[in-house]
Chains A and B, each alone.
Chain A
């Protein structure tokens, strides 16, 4: 199978390790992924902030760049949600019939990482090793736009050495919401504070999720209060093995870099 890799703009710029981990998991399972460098961003930020027309060239680019692949995978529920639910909207408003068809076609084969692993590739045990206490935040778009259900959790449960602890009120939004975090900074912070309290209540060393954006937000808060609790993307846990264990200091980058 020819798998194309969508690295979200945020992961590309700020969290390249999440992209590397995605590649590592898939290569370890014997798959080859291709990273077409012509890709940019899914355009979600534009659509969600009210600039649908500005998203058009990005939607066109996405449909064009990923058309040749059998499947496209991204380490982000949010961006995959955008591809599935918003690209059609933009194409219908501003694009040609050809673009609408192309968008429908590519959206149908775009998967979030846990979906690709469990539904398409049929694996739950990816041979990972992560000997830490972890709680999992099921991000809103994975949960409600993609309905990934317990796929991420079944992947995590199969990880060797992990101690998975339930997150109270897990399905409540962390308050990131893209530009919501700056347009409604106070409300966003109130939501984040409750999410952080629940994370701290679990006694976990790491809060994990399938979206770098939510983790950047929660991790930014955990770092500000110097909680010592790190954030780690699902892909990074799945990529860790006994031979190449996860560098904890790296995972704690937002809290520990400079102190480690």
Chain B
């Protein structure tokens, strides 16, 4: 696949969960209107933020670790084709089978064919972003196969016929009484006297999942990392459900984005420190599972690794955007983002929400398919500070905004109203005379707001969006430059 003369395509339309039905501002409105949702999100992100801050502060070399993580990722991406071939050779040598998938459709077809060949109608799954990205569960369902999510939060989302709202805490937007209701309605085998005590809810889920683990013959996982030199795949989790999936069923299928690679076994030292602290605010995650090909009579006896492109090579080819591939899916950027905290994960319309989603989704799909996402940020920069591998998210957002407006200009004969405004402003500003006259004309704004001294709602485009909730200050009688000319230089312009 890599090394071919043309780039693989962006993530295709019509399959997967990388595109929303609405623009970000429209989708955000639903969450903003839901006060319970906003309270749930605010409480959860605040709690994780505080936990993360305290465990990060414990490490004297946190900044060096971040830099090491960044360097390792930058190096890996610069040599990705070589490392992928090394991985393929290592996995194959240990009895695994490697499949290459250009996009979501190919990956789904590969997995569905593998599952059907086993003659089963049920599989268990470890929480996996890659399989959500390609909508594997839906593809399996269409082929008559039920895929059971075994991560507790993922199970809540699945049973609730919902979509994940957070990378790490998919059910962050649900509280415990909502979860109780979902279990009662959807689990089938649940005790009708179920209370909303967290321990009781977890117990019900455990009982439900135990039956699935013991009967399933095929498991599907994602991967937090793959090691090129050894062919080892790893999954990091908190509940032990992953360990069950990875060891009990006879067949294991792992779907992994091609960027989830580290060159050497020793590189894990860096990422296993960065990831848990950044994501759950823990020093170490409870379960770290690693497997290398097959071990006779122990664990799965058939292992398939599906390497998924789905737009990633296009991201890699984008010099300004490629650092988005360095993401280790920790979700630290979500938890510090004031926009995510208010608008929630669903507003991003993609399986990748928050600041990283605002760059990753448009990069994978092509910016025109997710054109509102690069603008879904106030560019406050909190995400860049929190990122354990120092992805400069604000800079990539600005890059994608330019990409969007420039693509629009190429594809449309008439410029957008905004483009006209921006170019006109630039034309006026580049001439001192034109700019001075324009500033003086601002005084006409004084005609408004004479009574209160401020300008209230004004039903004009753009100004309306501002003045719906904020007063606009009345323009002054004299601009700064006119004052300066009067008092300092005597120069009228």
Partner of B470, one of A20, A186, A224: A224
Whether B382 and A223, one on each chain, are in contact in the complex, defined by CB atoms closer than 8 angstroms, is no
The answer to whether B442 and A35 touch across the interface, beta carbons within 8 angstroms, is no
Tell me if A87 counts as interface (CB < 8 A to partner B): no
Show the binding face of A for B, using Cβ within 8 Å: 7, 9, 11-17, 19-20, 23, 35, 37-41, 43, 45-52, 54-55, 57-58, 61, 85-86, 89, 140-141, 143-145, 171-173, 175-192, 216-217, 219-221, 223-224, 253-259
Does B479 interact with chain A (Cβ within 8 Å)? Answer: yes
Q: Which residues of B contact A20 (CB under 8 A)?
A: 480, 483
* Known contacts A45-B422, A187-B32, A259-B452; 13 further A-B pairs (Cβ under 8 A): A13-B479, A19-B480, A51-B422, A54-B422, A86-B398, A144-B380, A173-B338, A180-B379, A184-B25, A184-B375, A189-B469, A224-B469, A258-B453
**Chain A residues, Cβ within 8 Å of B376:** 184, 187
The residue among A38, A46, A141, A187 with the most chain B CB atoms within 10 A of its own CB is: A187
Whether the Cβ atoms of A144 and B454 lie closer than 8 Å is: no
In the bound complex, residues from chain B placing their C-beta under 8 Å from that of A50 are 374, 398, 401-406
User: Which chain B residues in 434-493 approach chain A with CB under 8 Å?
Assistant: 435-436, 439, 442, 450-454, 456, 462, 465-466, 468-476, 478-481, 483-485, 488-489, 491, 493
Q: Interface size (B, Cβ < 8 Å)?
A: 71
CB distance from A91 to the nearest CB of B (A): 14
The answer to whether A51 touches B405, judged by C-beta atoms less than 8 angstroms apart, is yes
Residues of the A chain whose Cβ atoms lie less than 8 Å from the Cβ of B430: 40, 57-58, 61
Most chain B CB atoms below 10 A, which of A17, A43, A46, A185: A185
CB within 8 A of B375: which of A13, A183, A219? A183
**A-facing residues in B98-145 (Cβ within 8 Å):** none
Contact B465 A141 (CB under 8 A): no
B343–A37 contact, CB under 8 A? Answer: no
Bound CA span A47–B406, Å: 12
CA gap between A217 and B380 in the complex, in Å: 15
Q: What residue in chain B is nearest A20 (Cβ atoms)?
A: B483
B338 touches A144 (CB 8 A): no
| Cβ-defined contact, B426 with A173, below 8 A | no
Evaluate whether A181 and B401 lie within 8 angstroms (CB atoms) in the complex, with A51-B423, A144-B385, A175-B378 already known. Answer: no
Knowing A38-B432, A40-B432 are in contact, say whether A180-B377 is a contact too (CB < 8 A).
yes
A-B CB proximity, top 10 nearest: A177-B378, A257-B453, A220-B470, A258-B453, A50-B401, A173-B380, A50-B405, A144-B381, A16-B480, A140-B380
Show 29 A/B contacts (Cβ-Cβ < 8 Å), sorted by A: A16-B479, A16-B483, A37-B491, A43-B426, A45-B422, A48-B379, A50-B401, A51-B426, A54-B422, A85-B395, A140-B382, A141-B381, A172-B338, A182-B466, A183-B375, A184-B25, A184-B375, A185-B465, A185-B466, A187-B28, A187-B343, A190-B343, A191-B338, A216-B473, A220-B469, A220-B473, A224-B470, A254-B471, A258-B450
Q: How far is the CA of A23 from the CA of B489 in the complex (A)?
A: 14
Query: In the complex, what's the smallest C-beta–C-beta distance from B292 to chain A, in angstroms?
Result: 42
Q: Which residues of B contact A14 (CB under 8 A)?
A: 442, 473, 475-476
Q: A179 to chain B: which residues have CB within 8 Å?
A: 375
A35 and B484 contact, Cβ closer than 8 Å, known pairs A12-B439, A189-B469: yes
Chain B nearest CB from A177 CB (Å) reads: 3
Can you name the residue of chain A whose Cβ is closest to the Cβ of B473?
A254
Closest to A180 in B: B378
| Beta-carbon nearest neighbor of B42 in chain A | A194
A82 CB, min distance to chain B CBs, angstroms? 10
A13-B442, A50-B402 as given contacts; A258 in contact with B473, CB under 8 Å: no
User: Chain B contacts of A181 at CB under 8 A?
Assistant: 465-466
B432 nearest CB neighbor, chain A only = A38
Q: Do A183 and B479 have beta carbons less than 8 Å apart?
A: no
Instruction: Decide if B384 is an interface residue (CB 8 Å cutoff).
Output: yes
Interfacial chain B residues near A254, Cβ < 8 Å: 453-454, 471, 473
Instruction: Decide yes or no: A49 and B470 within 8 Å by CB, A144-B380, A184-B24, A184-B28 being known contacts.
Output: no
Q: How far is the CA of A13 from the CA of B384 in the complex (A)?
A: 32
Q: How far is the CA of A180 from the CA of B339 in the complex (A)?
A: 10
Known: A37-B432, A58-B430, A175-B378. A186 touches B29 (CB 8 A): yes
Taking the complex as formed, is B418 at the interface, i.e. its CB lies under 8 A from any CB of chain A?
Answer: yes
Expressed in whole angstroms, the Cα–Cα distance for A221 and B471 within the complex equals: 6
- The answer to whether B25 and A186 have CB atoms under 8 Å apart is yes
Once the chains bind, are B473 and A35 in contact (CB under 8 Å)? no
Chain B residues whose C-beta falls within 8 Å of the C-beta of A217 in the assembled complex:
470
Residues on A with beta carbons closer than 8 Å to the beta carbon of B429: 9, 40-41, 57-58
CB distance from A187 to the nearest CB of B (A): 5
Enumerate chain B residues within 8 angstroms of A182, measured Cβ to Cβ.
Answer: 462, 465-466
Is the Cβ of B25 less than 8 Å from the Cβ of A183?
yes
Decide: A37 near B473, CB < 8 A? Known: A54-B423, A180-B379. Answer: no
Q: Does chain A have a CB within 8 A of B342? A: yes
Whether a CB of chain A sits under 8 angstroms from the CB of B419 is yes
For B456, the chain A residues whose CB sits under 8 A away are 224
Partner of B384 from the list A47, A144, A183 (CB cut-off 8 Å) is A144
Contact (Cβ within 8 A) A220 B338: no
Q: Smallest CB–CB gap between B66 and chain A, Å?
A: 15
For A40, A173, A175, the residue with the greatest tally of chain B CB atoms inside 10 Å of its CB is A40
In the assembled complex, which residues on chain A have CB atoms less than 8 Å from the CB atom of B469? Answer: 185, 189, 192, 220-221, 224
Chain B neighbourhood of A224, CB < 8 A: 456, 469-471
Contact partner of A12 (CB less than 8 A), chosen from B38, B343, B401, B479, is B479
* Interchain CB contact under 8 A, B402 and A52: yes
Inter-subunit contact B381/A223 (CB<8 Å): no
A57 CA to B385 CA, complexed, in Å: 31
A54 nearest CB neighbor, chain B only: B426
